[in-house]
């Protein structure tokens, strides 16, 4: 149950998609003076050392964040994401990677609130220490050692009636797909105007595809983006991409993703099977709620890769593995 540690995957291609979108949503909410809450159901450790034992050992950042550093002509969404990462690395070397709690904390104003759930006994200790180091005000931030699926229910709707709910379990337990779908359904009953951001892995499990299709049948405004970086492995293991499903998305998000996804696909591609999709609830759908069979995904975009797997202009720490 507690085998998963996100530090092993910090800064990979899935984090790039998830956190670039999260930063855009946070920026959008900050356009209005009215306060809001951010609720993270599976917070993790909050901040990760990319040259540390976990992330340094896996090296997944090499095919994620590292490919973006120094890459030419990044679109607006990516530029803003990279600026957010830089805020945690003032020396200009990307050795620390902020998870969603750190990104949210940095974005919040004094009258906004952050509510975090984490069940892993080690992760929550690291998270608490991280927030102390970042100077998180106790009156603004609350952490609960609790299953976020259960804890979410009592927090909705937030008193401000403005809020972002991030749902991104590890999905190591197949039941997480069902729990995620139910959490969104229950959440919308309590907080119909809330922005719900769901991250999920693209893996060879039928549950992942079923959950995505079920989310698309919800009678709400939504945006659904996926990023595939390689062909699925023959043994069915490993993460070949990820998706983000956003209920009540910022109206600016679709255009920013439309500009960013082709660039991300090209930059993060590991083989010729790299591709992306971008769909919204405004697209025509048939009576069953599914998109028409003739629907075409965004064009496939392959990309060559430098011999060492990273952009030549990238700045790296000598200690980074």
Reference 21, options 67, 68, 76; nearest CA is 76
State yes or no: is 147 an active-site residue.
no
**CA pair distance 321, 10, nearest whole angstrom:** 13
Which pTM does this prediction carry? Answer: 0.86
Q: What is the pLDDT of residue 134?
A: 93
Reference 265, options 298, 235, 306, 218; nearest CA is 298
H or E, element range at 178: helix 175-190
10-residue mean pLDDT series, the chain (321 residues): 59 97 98 98 93 60 93 97 96 92 97 96 92 93 96 97 97 95 98 98 92 97 98 82 98 98 98 97 50 38 36 38 34
Contact 166, 100 (CB under 8 A): yes
Choose the catalytic residue: 15, 40, 112, 168: 168
Count Cβ atoms below 10 Å from residue 135 Cβ, excluding itself: 7
**CA pair distance 302, 300, nearest whole angstrom:** 7
Contact 243, 200 (CB under 8 A): yes
Count Cβ atoms below 10 Å from residue 79 Cβ, excluding itself: 14
């Amino acid at each position: 149950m507690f085998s998963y540690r996100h530090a092993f995957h910090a800064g990979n291609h899935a984090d790039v998609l998830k956190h670039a979108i999260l930063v855009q949503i946070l920026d959008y909410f900050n356009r209005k003076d009215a306060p809001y809450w951010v609720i993270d159901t599976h917070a993790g450790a909050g901040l990760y050392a990319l040259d540390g034992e976990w992330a340094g050992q896996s090296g997944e950042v090499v095919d994620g964040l590292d490919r973006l550093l120094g890459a030419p002509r990044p679109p607006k969404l990516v530029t803003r994401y990279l600026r957010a990462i830089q805020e945690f690395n003032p020396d200009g070397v990307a050795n620390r990677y902020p998870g969603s709690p750190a990104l949210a904390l940095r974005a919040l104003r004094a009258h906004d609130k952050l509510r975090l759930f984490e069940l892993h006994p080690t992760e929550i200790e690291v998270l608490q220490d991280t927030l102390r180091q970042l100077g998180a005000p106790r009156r603004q931030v609350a952490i609960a050692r609790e299953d976020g699926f259960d804890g979410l229910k009592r927090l909705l709707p937030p008193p401000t009636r403005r809020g972002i709910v991030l749902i991104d379990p590890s999905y190591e337990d197949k039941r997480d797909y069902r729990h995620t779908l139910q959490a969104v359904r229950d959440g919308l009953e309590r907080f119909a105007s809330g922005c719900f951001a769901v991250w999920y892995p693209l893996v060879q499990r039928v549950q992942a595809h079923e959950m995505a299709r079920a989310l698309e049948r919800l009678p709400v405004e939504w945006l659904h983006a996926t990023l595939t970086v390689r062909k699925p492995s023959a043994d069915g293991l490993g993460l070949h991409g990820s998706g983000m499903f956003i209920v009540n998305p910022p109206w600016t998000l679709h255009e920013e993703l439309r500009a960013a996804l082709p660039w991300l696909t090209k930059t993060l591609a590991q083989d010729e099977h790299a591709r992306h999709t971008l769909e919204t609830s405004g697209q025509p759908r048939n009576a069953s709620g599914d998109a028409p069979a003739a629907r075409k995904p965004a064009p496939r975009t392959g990309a060559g890769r430098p011999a060492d797997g990273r952009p030549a202009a990238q700045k790296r720490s000598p200690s980074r593995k």
